[in-house]
Amino acid sequence: MSIEAWSFLVSRNPYLDYRTIVAPDFICAAGIPNLLARAADGELTDPGHAIRRKVEGSEVGDFSIVFRVVQALEEYINFGDGENLLRDSFGREIYLLEGLVIKGISQVSITNEDLEGVHTQVRQSYQKFWDCTDVPPVETSSHFYLKIDEFSEALNLLEVEEMQPLVVNSEKTQSQNSTWKLNQKLLFNFRISSIAFSPRENKIAVRSYNPFVEILSLTDHRSIDSIDRKLRGVLNFDEILNFDNDRAISFSSDGKLLAFSIIQGADKNNVLLWNINLRKEEYIFKGHRLSPLGRIHSIAFSKVGNLLASASQDSTVKLWNTATGEQYASLENAEPVYSVSFSPKGSTLVSGSSKGSVEFWDVEGKCRLDILKSKALSSIKSLAFSSDGSTLAVGGDTVSDYVDAKYVEIWDINEKKIIHVLDGHSDLVYSVAFSPDGQLLASGSKDGNVKLWNVKSGKETLPLPEQSNGDSRAEITSVAFSSDGKLLASSHMDGVVTIWRS
């Protein structure tokens, strides 16, 4: 007897977080290889042991994975032939989650030799992945046949631990199932303007409407660092600054730097660049002018190179070199700029204005490429690229009739056209964020709700559990996905951070 199987590998390198490196051809063809990174999880497995998990309701049907979790060694990337452990840029041990994908969810016995064969197959792919600094395409694996002979291989069968099945919100099941569960509610004694997940470590940064940032561990939710410029109370922020538009905070792609807007003495419209590991200030970027209606509204790091963008009420987007502390460019807009986002490759920058226009910029040429007008939005509050750069989410405010108002759009970047106008929020949308696999879009609104949307269909999924049910006092100021897509967080003006786990 034999069964059809495919090899897969999930791991990380010094620069990129855990992601799918090798996946079956049929899963890659469906565009859902990241599903394996969601499904494969767990602690180191003992010799002779493996983990089995069922995946139900995916776009390719039900299937099972059987895998082991092992430590990555230098010899796996031909970096010496010893048994020293591979580590990431923070010194943490790297694991390999390697195993088999089997169609259907029936019980199948796997031997240690089967997984050793997988290890040999995926090792070459891991070698190529080791030096990547940008997200590479997932390598495909073709099917092969496992021979099942209980009599001759009984002594080599693995002891298998069963994990809870992963039920997928694929397009065909999203209207029926929701896998998101409330994970934690964090309470703070200050109003929260924005949050950001670290892309490299298990951390979240929480920013208030004054120069104060709290960095917390997602493992035990304890405070790791508090960045307080001790300027609270110097200004009456509610009267002098429009705090509704002040949501500027961002981690660099390697997780080593954190940037956020700051009031610094007489200069009230600056960007602070903070070194996470050293817990010290790297640079303060000065150059934006202060306006009574607001200051720096949005900050974004490029995923490649050393550039940081800041968008301001002064109608400029400024680009800063985070390595030298110098200004790289100043991009002049016709109106105040509320949001800014880099394309994944960093060659294009988009900015959203207070008048509903989205401007496209050539980063290297420091020039405008195009200006497009939103169909439904009178002002742009938030922009986000999908991970492959093909789709742009646009959230904001509208002057349309209340009943017919639409607050979120999804744009096709290649065609430069709007493909979905999302109907569901009852007030302006402050924040939008794509899941890492690009299948889901989260939006956070002044109406107090976080909504999840299927990007392909433009339809809303089932509501997230334990929300505020539209309490305007708990209006959502920002939303964010963790880099592995397993966590979704929202910040509330009333001092609550809600975290869900898929």
pLDDT tens-digit series, residues 402-453: 556 789 999 999 888 899 999 888 889 999 999 988 999 999 999 899 999 9
Residue 176 lies in a domain: no
Q: Please identify every stretch of the chain with a pLDDT value under 70, giving residue numbers as ranges.
A: 1-2, 79-83, 88-90, 105-107, 147-157, 169-178, 210-211, 229-247, 263-268, 291-294, 400-404, 468-473
pLDDT recorded at residue 355 = 93
> Tokens representing 182?
């409330």
Q: Is 403 helix (H, G, I), strand (E, B) or coil?
A: helix
The rounded distance, in Å, linking the Cα atoms of 165 and 267 is 54
Indicate if the alpha-carbon torsion angle 255, 261, 263, 267 is positive or negative. positive
Q: Tell me the one-letter amino acid at 289.
A: R
Residue 174 lies in a domain: no
pLDDT recorded at residue 472 = 52
Residue 311 lies in a domain: yes
Matching residue, tokens 């976080």: 450
Residue 149 lies in a domain: yes
Tell whether 130 and 204 lie within a shared domain. no
Neighbour count for residue 32 (Cβ, 10 Å): 21
Record the pTM.
Answer: 0.65
Matching residue, tokens 């631990």: 161
Residue 175 lies in a domain: no
Of the candidates 136, 167, 198, which is a domain's last residue? 167
Nearest to 231 by CA among 258, 267, 195: 267
pLDDT recorded at residue 170 = 47
pLDDT recorded at residue 363 = 94
Domain span at residue 191?
Answer: 181-501
**How many domains is the chain partitioned into structurally?**
2
pLDDT recorded at residue 2 = 66
Residue 255 lies in a domain: yes
Tell whether 161 and 192 lie within a shared domain. no
Residue 173 lies in a domain: no
Residue 229 lies in a domain: yes
pLDDT recorded at residue 32 = 87
Tell whether 367 and 306 lie within a shared domain. yes
Tell whether 117 and 265 lie within a shared domain. no
Tell whether 336 and 278 lie within a shared domain. yes
- In DSSP terms, which residues pair with 410 in a beta bridge? 393, 420
Phi and psi at residue 135, to the nearest 5°: -70, 115
Q: Tell me the one-letter amino acid at 225.
A: D
The rounded distance, in Å, linking the Cα atoms of 270 and 276 is 19
Tell whether 94 and 195 lie within a shared domain. no
Of the candidates 109, 134, 167, which is a domain's last residue? 167
> Tokens representing 489?
């967080």
